[in-house]
Structure 1
Amino acid sequence: MFIRRAIQRYLRRRRSDSTDSSVEAWKYRLKLFREWCYGIDLKRVGELRGLDFDEYYEIRAGEVAPVTLEGEMWTLRMFVKYLEQIDAVERGLHESVRIPELDRDERASQEALDAEPALALIEYFRNSDRDRAKRNHAFLELAWYTGARQSGLRSLDLRDVNYRLDSDEQSWIEFHNRESTGPRLKNGVRGERPVGIPDETARVISEYVRDYRMDTHDDEGRQPLLSTREGRPAEATVRTWSYNATLPCLHGACPHGKEKETCEWTDYHKASKCPSSRSPHPIRTGSITWQLNIGIPPEVVAERVNATVSTIEDHYDWASDEERWQRYRDRLGKRREYVERLDSDWSNHDDDK
């Protein structure tokens, strides 16, 4: 089987259980591998050997960052494993695809939106007569207080917000995988969950819906919570909102020495050029780190953001050593009751003698 055809077959297989963005990422990574193979006159999957994967690893390691290399090699390994399943290559060949071992600093995103600027931005929006409850504000409140992926934010409909303002109950957002009408959640039905939000966030969303949301439907007749004139926003549109919502000059002086009135980065379509503005993923990373730092248990954060504890620790938790030790001390204090119970059990043991 030709490598090109095998890749096409593999991607068709994965489309049924993966998001479009994931498939596109795999397509690009495997395209690079295919081009390298053709460059050394390797055309068929049956010709692939462990030495080929090792050669490709060494070449890519000299061209890309370690975390990028890790993603490319995992994609390649899963592709080769699929080839084994359809008997296109020998069994066990996927084990020849080397995966780099990265430390925490190499793996974690260093572009996370830190809690200090994030909360300063939210404070600005909440107190602003001009910008409160407009789309950028609503987006940032949702992104920060849910820690959701971009696909999750895009998937939200009006009906997914449950307001419980001025009551003893908590307001919450529901993430549903409506795959037949899209967008699909990254983990499909396993990504479905309710996520509690603070009252002020719920109040902002309510004001946004009442005063600023564009009353439109998407192509499937659904009413997206975050809407555009055409209906549901494209991924690129959400990224643009994100960059504009996180411009540092909204809440203070420019950290890059520019004047707000003349800075070209304040243009709607150029906000991504600002070194301090952030796309949705770094907001998610910063939110997760912040939730952990304020004492929410890792397993609770994992459930809220639809990730495993190990994934959070490896990819999203960008806390400093001091912040991490402070968490440990806080947890130790909360667990004092359990430690005292250990001592109590020993005393009971002595009494039984």
Structure 2
Amino acid sequence: MSEIDETKSTVRNLSPVEAAERFIAARENRNSQKTVRSYRNRLNEFVAWAEENDIESMRDLDGWWLDEFERYLETTENAPTTIKGKMSALNQLLQYCASIEVVDERLPEKCEPPKLTREEETSDDLLASEDAKEYLAFYRDSTKHYGTIQHVVLELIWHIGGRISCFRALDYGDWYPDQRKLEFRHRPPTRLKKEGRHERNVLVCEPVAEALDFWRERERPEKRDDNGRRPLLTTSHGRASDSSIRCWAYQATQPCLYTGCPHNSDRESCSYTQRQHSSKCPSSRGPHAIRTGSITWQLNNGISYVKVAKRAAASPETIRRYYDKPDYDEELERRRPETENLDILTSPF
């Protein structure tokens, strides 16, 4: 082998961890921090698996090893959607490696993410409207918890149905109390998922506005973010992170706030009441479950798919496929106006 060929071989002989880091570094220039973090999390298991199986170079991978990794994912209690996400991330990594000639250009074709049924793709996890009523009634009547950040986050996610990124991006001036209006804008480094396409103005009801005003005037830490902007939702360090909003949602939906613990634990000593462990409570719900419940509830109230999609920042097709989760009685009530008096003898047709 010539000196040039030997150098070329050395440069392009990347280990799985080196390939993953190089791929993620390339993504940092074109994707949001949240997307980059998602790639990193999804590839971590592949990197650890490769190390355990003594795969020292990406060149060692072939169709058999890719099938072995997918089988490994299936035996480690990963949900079908999780397996698809991790295999999709690996496929993206292999495409990148093929483009820089680290692996054979045909290898990505052998890493095909599994096709899921509609039932496997969607989650039934949602905050039911009956539970949302219990939580929000508790907060609105409480002298201790009214206007806390947990209360405000629950009010906003439930009554709007937006994603975490929408609420994180809000600045102090995006709230217009006199009009009860919130303006969602894409202003990097805070981002909306579809950028300008998800910019919109949203109205909220008076109780939501009052809780938000209480938070803003009495509870909100007066902080600026790293870019000098005044966030609407803040912590003692500045703009709330995605993880902070997620934890607040979990804390807001712990049933022991207003009733006895369904798991026979004592709230005073339960570790799940702590911010860092709040997601472990079996009965609490995260932002996605609250968003799903909210969207279903809005549709049950007769709001059209198009209007709900605009309010929640999604397409009507996405709303139908992933977020509309009515039970049989809710479906019946949606049909009731057109069907309860359906009689052939009185029908004009």
Normalization by structure 1: what TM-score?
A: 0.80
Q: Determine what percentage of the aligned residue pairs are the same residue.
A: 35
Q: Match of 2:208, SS?
A: helix
Answer whether contact 1:109 1:285 (CA < 8 A) is retained: no
Q: Is residue 11 from structure 1 mapped to residue 24 from structure 2 by the alignment?
A: yes
Residue 175 of structure 1 deviates from its aligned partner by 1.8
Match for 1:74 among 52, 63, 88? 88
State the AA in 2 paired with 1:241. Answer: W
The verdict on how the C-alpha distance between 1:12 and 1:326 changes in structure 2, with shifts beyond 3 A counting, is farther
Residue 225 of structure 1 deviates from its aligned partner by 0.8
Of stretches 314-323 and 122-131 in structure 1, the one that deviates more from structure 2 is: 314-323
Question: Separation in 2 of the partners of 1:28 and 1:134?
Answer: 31
Question: Separation in 2 of the partners of 1:299 and 1:92?
Answer: 42
Q: Which residue of 1 aligns with 2:345?
A: none
Q: Match of 1:113, SS?
A: coil
Q: Match of 2:239, SS?
A: coil
Of stretches 138-147 and 95-104 in structure 1, the one that deviates more from structure 2 is: 95-104
Q: Is residue 312 from structure 1 mapped to residue 322 from structure 2 by the alignment?
A: no
Answer whether contact 1:289 1:319 (CA < 8 A) is retained: yes
Let me know the Cα RMSD of the aligned residues.
Answer: 3.0
Q: Which residue of 1 aligns with 2:219?
A: 212
Q: Is residue 190 from structure 1 mapped to residue 197 from structure 2 by the alignment?
A: yes
State the AA in 2 paired with 1:278. Answer: R
Q: Between Structure 1 and Structure 2, how many residues are aligned? A: 328
Match for 2:125 among 92, 106, 111? 111
The verdict on how the C-alpha distance between 1:210 and 1:38 changes in structure 2, with shifts beyond 3 A counting, is closer
Unaligned residue ranges in structure 2 (runs of 5+): 1-11, 343-347
Question: Separation in 2 of the partners of 1:123 and 1:57?
Answer: 46
Question: Separation in 2 of the partners of 1:258 and 1:322?
Answer: 33
Unaligned residue ranges in structure 1 (runs of 5+): 166-170, 337-341, 344-353
Q: Which residue of 1 aligns with 2:244?
A: 237
Of stretches 56-65 and 244-253 in structure 1, the one that deviates more from structure 2 is: 244-253
Normalization by structure 2: what TM-score?
A: 0.81
Match for 1:173 among 182, 188, 199? 182
Residue 261 of structure 1 deviates from its aligned partner by 5.7
The verdict on how the C-alpha distance between 1:80 and 1:119 changes in structure 2, with shifts beyond 3 A counting, is same
Deviations 1:314-348, CA, capped at 9 Å, x for gaps: 43333334434544x25856xx9xxxxx97xxxxx
Deviations 1:205-257, CA, capped at 9 Å, x for gaps: 12221222222222221111111222212333323322221121333343334
Question: Separation in 2 of the partners of 1:284 and 1:261?
Answer: 29
Of stretches 263-272 and 129-138 in structure 1, the one that deviates more from structure 2 is: 263-272
Residue 135 of structure 1 deviates from its aligned partner by 2.0
Question: Separation in 2 of the partners of 1:98 and 1:322?
Answer: 39
Q: Match of 1:6, SS?
A: helix
